[in-house]
Structure 1
Amino acid sequence: MNNASFFQRFAAWLIDRVILSILYFLGSLAVGVVSAVYTSSRIDVPNLLLSAGVGVFMLVSILGDFLYFGYFWSRRERSIGMGIMNIRVVKTDGHPLSFIIAGLRGSVGYYVSGLCFGLGYIWFFVDKQHATWHDKIFNTVVST
């Protein structure tokens, strides 16, 4: 089992982010249309309710990442981006990830790796096994 290169992993991540961004944009557009209908019909919508939308959107994006990566990594061992780059993610013992572990790795794990100026991602270059922080936390490996 050969480890995936940084380029392969980055390109797969970028493809997945574009796909998720399009989905989130379409969701935001739908919410925006509904909000516009309410405000144009002169129904009084409290500003607090509208401003809460930002927090809700953040939670929805974390949940969206959880569901996207949870589904693809637990069912196929690869997301759409990873499929294009011909790489896969599995446990270090070669077994597939469970839905929960896959979802947490793709949502919380990615955020943890990006927290300190992306140090968790840069760790790839320091680690002998080329593992990032989210690989270490969830005991996974990305291979070709």
Structure 2
Amino acid sequence: MSETPRRASLWRLVAALFYDLILLFAVWFFAALVILILLGAEFGHTHAFQLYLYAIGMLYFTWFWTHGGQTLGLRTWRLRVTGRDGHSGITWKQALVRAVAAQLSWLALGLGYLWALWDREGLTWHDRLSGTRVVRAD
């Protein structure tokens, strides 16, 4: 591998995330519609329904990260999730750790994302914990 890929800026990371969330809301809408038609509207008030939607969200991110490193939002903003070296793909384990840690980063009032501003490598908490990084794909 020749040169080290350029790291992604925080604003691009957040923009890609919001783009992905817009797409994910559409996916959740159709997934909810299908399951509620099949199981009835009362299913929408259960913990199983919440778990079903959560699993779809986790699958959305982890599948894209392990299959090419780009969600639709990351692709739009020309970013890619890679191993710490900036070139290799990531494993399912890394993707799951990254997805859970990213949620904790937001629950901590976004501090896990803001950490990238002070980190000398520009890594977020979830990148540090999962052994990943987000690089420019252009």
Residue of structure 1 aligned with 2:25, choices 6, 21, 36 = 21
Task: Return 5+ residue gaps in structure 1 as ranges.
Answer: 37-44
What is residue 92 of structure 1 aligned with on the other side? 84
In our comparison, the structure showing a higher alpha carbon Rg is 1
Distance 1:96 1:89, change over 3 A: same
Residue of structure 1 aligned with 2:96, choices 99, 103, 107 = 103
Query: Is residue 139 from structure 1 mapped to residue 136 from structure 2 by the alignment?
Result: no
How far did residue 60 of structure 1 move? Answer: 2.1
The answer as to whether partners of 1:113 and 1:121 remain within 8 angstroms in 2 is yes
For 1:20-59, list aligned pairs within 5 A: 20-33=24-37, 34-36=39-41, 51=45, 53=46, 55-59=47-51
Question: What's the TM-score once normalised by structure 1's chain length?
Answer: 0.79
Query: Is residue 82 from structure 1 mapped to residue 82 from structure 2 by the alignment?
Result: no
> Hey, what's the Cα distance between the residues in 2 that align with 1:141 and 1:130?
9
What is residue 12 of structure 1 aligned with on the other side? 16
The answer as to whether partners of 2:65 and 2:71 remain within 8 angstroms in 1 is yes
What is residue 55 of structure 2 aligned with on the other side? 63
Percent of paired sites with the same residue: 28
Structure 1 residue matching 2:17: 3-state secondary structure: helix
**Aligned residues between the structures:** 130
Question: What's the TM-score once normalised by structure 2's chain length?
Answer: 0.82
More helix by share: 1
Distance 1:113 1:57, change over 3 A: farther
